[in-house]
A and B are shown apart, each in its own frame.
Chain A
């Protein structure tokens, strides 16, 4: 922490934290914002995928005759003629080099691993012609019996050494949880299932690939990380990294599924090379369900041992889930269970079964979302069993330090979150008895749950170019998923440079800009804000050097360490009357502009000075400094349940979070609301159903995969606890994209229990489950 920090160097109230309107708002409400499939390139052609109907087997034949005769068809690629790639993820070396969870590239052999696997890519001069031609392809298969899920009797369960793409341990043990469980006065065991969930960003996966030269590619891509996609593509295509440019100016949501490079992107690049023209490929909504990962189907068994006073003694967690034929992917649910409460012993292990499915991947709060569902529902059960208030049971187990490492927290405002949330929600008015509150014929329930999300170790670069006319251009190759990156970074730059925000232009989403991490794992705000702040400090250091060498400057011959900057004025710290405005200094020095660059670190790298993870988030490198770094919060939910129909409506919602410095009160509130709604979807309606015999999805569209609509959502209340964390990064910022959804499904399930006395542990909590569950 030898770096300057925003807290110390920026005097007075600025625009950071203010509820500014989005700087990209005007572009978004006028239709000017260009997403990745919206570049009208000269000679643009259209790529359409043909995908496999079977989930396992081999391609016997592909008859392209009819399709090839269609007017406008330029090329049809299959495994027989796709231009060869330098590397594919199909072997371990290739997978490691490509660095994406994409463990398999289709169109490389006749083997079919999953339903929806691309078997051909048709390129034509119009979208209609490509779409039609793809329907004329005749593909025959030798089908084998697939495995749909880990529940299939033929599925072979195994214990992986690592899960979550190698980033978390498959087995964890702290103390002797089994012995502690055996002797615990109170024992609870519960089994939780979680349906397959799909991210379903409104913008489907889109790629527009154009070869600027035989060895230089530009890709307009819907990705959460331009650099990660650039690296993956360059590796597969056998090009130097800088010969691939990836551009994502606007991204129509991501939620994790756009966090990596997926097969359709590289296939589009190959097709563009083949036809010698730009190719645009947009996944259909149905293809979206089998092309960019999902949250896996999973069962968790959680055992809890406690004292009669409700003090935790032991937690034992097991998770079983389906993974693809080539990956060991399971969300690391156990991480949050290990740190959330002060419990002396803990054990967790994972079981996987290979199914004929596309690999699962990061889905908003990967691990924390389903893991919190298990622990937060079981804590609720413990509270009822011992007749203790649900908040009180959590306070009795409040972790004053990280139980998994024994390290102190860098900051933790969870007590305040509980207290403020309870106050806003009116928790004290709640009748503690389940099934006892009514509104007419409807059952009313109130539940709550804790939220937490780690600060993932990450780093990134930024550049600031300050002009003598009082404008600045700020650049970082970050992406804005809609979370507000454009806006909050503009605010940070404004305060760091002492300029009003309208004098700042922040550019992002291009590999030509300084490298920033993936926008994922809640690292973007903390990392990019810090790198921009550091780049601004670099600008001031350069200008200070100019000033102290300039005989006409009031700061002539001052020592650099005695000079500080306040609102664009360079001055002596101890005699602020002596100084000058940067514009005057630059004009006198004949400087049109000055450029500074900076590296921002987020998490342990900031505290220790060690390198962060450039691609971020990397789950096993988190918090390896002196402090354990997490944000915390609490959700409060009121539901009304129809006792006859089993329907659940969320009628009130309160979320309170302690997440470091909040950069923009308006966009942050929106992000928390959005994450809560995402969680309400998982709690009450979201489930992709995989046919157990054919291993195909039966509801892969937005009519049958239900996400919350406007009428499902009430007015929501969001607050933040003022939190100053000097250990996490130069800005004191923790991300909020994921914590917003952690604990949400548990808060809903706990409210449903309070309303009905029925404990539904299978997500989503649909009416059939409520009607089919007995009251306790």
Chain B
């Protein structure tokens, strides 16, 4: 994924950090994410690091989470997941792998399910972000939350917020018409406790109840 930026890097091997804020944050972010994805590629990381002389870059960002706009101070490389958990104390969204492989961090961005660990906070500005904390209406649980409780769709609860957000999207996408559909379209969300049959039952119950999100 870092290769995409190589021509730019080659153009200014020792030059000052670009003024273009967007490009610089991409470099910083790519350096960090690229590193996370492929730790052995130290050489590449070094090259990127050398380019981005100015690693510091805390700025104000406005994130609209669960209907409320909140301002945080974070770096361009801060992921949406870390911004939610560490800056906004919205710890419902979980970090299971930080690589987009487990789905525990799933949130809705403009109604679509995304892995918030692979999404940068800075790019999520101006979008509607919905986390598990925003599912219930006050004390009234979302039907899927209630169905998860009834069907025991979890044990430890750590993958649950991701399962719920994915499940809500799955229903909305029309991917919950059969048990087989649900199994397939919920397979991006790992559950190590093994609550899968109960998760399927919960989502199917909400689908059959005619719930419209």
- Interchain CB contact under 8 A, A28 and B192: no
Contacts of B198 in A (CB 8 A): 670, 673
29 A-B Cβ contacts within 8 A? A22-B152, A28-B157, A29-B135, A29-B157, A30-B92, A31-B131, A127-B86, A128-B75, A128-B82, A132-B77, A135-B35, A135-B49, A201-B158, A202-B193, A252-B158, A284-B98, A285-B99, A285-B102, A484-B155, A671-B155, A673-B194, A677-B196, A702-B102, A708-B196, A709-B196, A710-B199, A711-B184, A713-B183, A713-B197
Query: Could you tell me if B154 and A28 are in contact, using CB atoms closer than 8 angstroms?
Result: yes
- Convert A549-567 into 0s and 1s, putting 1 for each residue whose CB lies closer than 8 angstroms to a CB of B: 0000000000000000000
Q: Are B82 and A202 in contact (CB under 8 A)?
A: no
Residues from chain A with a CB closer than 8 A to the CB of B131 are 31
Nearest chain-A residue to B188 (Cβ)?
A709
CB of A207 to closest CB in B, whole Å = 14
Cα(A21)–Cα(B196), bound, Å? 17
A544 within 8 A of B: no
Of the residues B90, B101, B157, contact of A24 by C-beta under 8 Å: B157
Separation in Å of the B145 CB from the closest CB of chain A?
Answer: 4
Q: Are A710 and B187 in contact (CB under 8 A)?
A: yes
List residues of chain A with CB within 8 A of the CB of B159.
202
Shortest CB distance B188–A (Å): 8
Is A482 in contact with B156, judged by CB distance below 8 angstroms?
A: yes
Chain A proximity of B96: nearest CB distance (Å): 5
User: Complex: how many Å from CA A673 to CA B192?
Assistant: 11
Is residue B129 within 8 Å, beta carbon to beta carbon, of the partner chain?
no
A201 and B192 within 8 A (CB): yes
Let me know if A250 is at the binding interface, CB within 8 A: yes
Say whether, besides A33-B157, A202-B191, A702-B97, A71 and B183 are in contact (CB < 8 Å).
no
How distant is B113 from chain A, measured CB to nearest CB, in Å?
15
Distance in angstroms between the alpha carbons of A666 and B161 in the assembled complex: 21
**Does A76 belong to the interface (CB within 8 Å)?**
no
Given contacts A128-B82, A702-B97, A708-B196, whether A483 and B184 have CB atoms under 8 Å apart is: no
The closest CB in chain B to the CB of A133 belongs to B55
A670, closest chain B residue (CB): B152
Instruction: Answer yes or no: B169 CB below 8 A from chain A CBs.
Output: no
Contact B85 A38 (CB under 8 A): yes
B132 contacts A by Cβ under 8 Å = yes
Interface residues of B in 146-204 (CB under 8 A from A): 148-150, 152, 154-161, 164, 179, 182-184, 186-200
Known contacts A201-B158, A284-B98; 14 further A-B pairs (Cβ under 8 A): A27-B157, A29-B141, A29-B154, A128-B77, A202-B96, A203-B94, A282-B95, A285-B96, A667-B152, A670-B195, A709-B190, A710-B189, A710-B191, A715-B197
- A204 adjacent to B75 (CB under 8 Å): no
A508 to B49, CA, bound (A): 46
Contact between chains at A136 and B49 (CB < 8 Å): yes
Given contacts A128-B32, A203-B94, A203-B96, contact A676 B156 (CB under 8 A): no
**In whole angstroms, how far apart are the Cα atoms of A28 and B91 in the complex?**
11
* Complex interface bits, B56-72 against A, C-beta within 8 A gives 1, otherwise 0: 10000000000000000
In the complex, what's the smallest C-beta–C-beta distance from B69 to chain A, in angstroms?
A: 20
**Interface residues of B, dominant DSSP:** loop
A701, B96: Cα distance in complex, Å: 11
Question: Number of B interface residues, CB 8 Å?
Answer: 70
Q: Is A587 an interface residue, CB under 8 A from the partner? A: no
A678 touches B194 (CB 8 A): yes
B24 at the interface (CB under 8 A from A): no
**Within 8 Å of chain A (Cβ to Cβ): is B78?**
yes
| A673→B98 CA distance, assembly (Å) | 27
Complex contact B190–A29 (CB within 8 A)? no
Residues of B within 8 A of A204 (CB): 95-96
Q: Does A286 count as interface, using CB distance less than 8 angstroms?
A: yes
Residues from chain A with a CB closer than 8 A to the CB of B190 are: 202, 702, 707, 709
* A32 cross-chain contacts in B, Cβ below 8 A: 92
Chain B residues whose C-beta falls within 8 Å of the C-beta of A250 in the assembled complex = 156-157
Query: Which residues on B sit within 8 Å (CB–CB) of A282?
Result: 95
State the B residues within 8 Å of A (CB): 32, 35-36, 39-40, 42, 45, 49, 55-56, 74-75, 77-78, 82, 85-86, 89-99, 101-102, 104, 131-133, 135-136, 141, 145, 148-150, 152, 154-161, 164, 179, 182-184, 186-200
C-alpha spacing A126/B75, complex, angstroms: 10
Q: Does A96 contact B (CB under 8 A)?
A: no
A674–B155 CB distance below 8 A:
yes
Distance in angstroms from B108 CB to nearest chain A CB is 14
On whether A126 and B86 interact (CB within 8 A), knowing A482-B154, A702-B101, the answer reads: yes
- Taking a contact as CB atoms under 8 Å apart, the answer to whether A200 and B192 are in contact is yes
Shortest distance from the beta carbon of B201 to any chain A beta carbon, whole Å: 9
Collect the chain A residues with CB atoms within 8 Å of residue B85's CB.
38
Q: In angstroms, how far is the closest chain B Cβ from the Cβ of A38?
A: 4
Neighbouring A residues of B150 by C-beta, 8 Å: 21
Which residues from A are CB-within-8-Å of B97? 285, 701-702
User: Which chain A residue shows the least CB distance to B79?
Assistant: A128
In angstroms, Cα B164 to Cα A746, docked, is 33
1/0 per residue, CB under 8 A from B, across A119-162: the answer is 00000001110011001100000000000000000000000000
Which of B49, B89, B94, B141 has most A Cβ within 10 Å?
A: B94
Per the bound structure, the CA–CA distance linking A678 and B195 in Å amounts to 11
- CB-CB under 8 A from B39, the residues of chain A are 286
A70 / chain B contacts, CB cutoff of 8 Å: 55
Interchain CA distance A127-B200 in the complex, whole Å: 35
Whether B133 lies near A30 (C-beta < 8 A) is yes
User: With a CB–CB cut-off of 8 A, which chain A residues contact B136?
Assistant: 30
Does A173 reach chain B (CB closer than 8 Å)? no
Binary interface encoding of chain A residues 50-75 relative to chain B, with 1 for a CB under 8 A from any of its CBs, else 0:
00010000000000000000110000
State whether the Cβ of A34 lies closer than 8 Å to any Cβ in chain B. Answer: yes
Q: Which residues of B contact A37 (CB under 8 A)?
A: 95
Query: How far is the CB of A161 from the nearest CB of chain B, in Å?
Result: 35
Q: How far is the CB of A662 from chain B (nearest CB, A)?
A: 14
A253 touches B92 (CB 8 A): no
Q: Which of B42, B86, B90 has the most CB of A within 10 A?
A: B86
Q: Is A26 an interface residue (CB 8 A)?
A: yes
Which of A30, A483, A671: most chain B Cβ within 10 A? A30
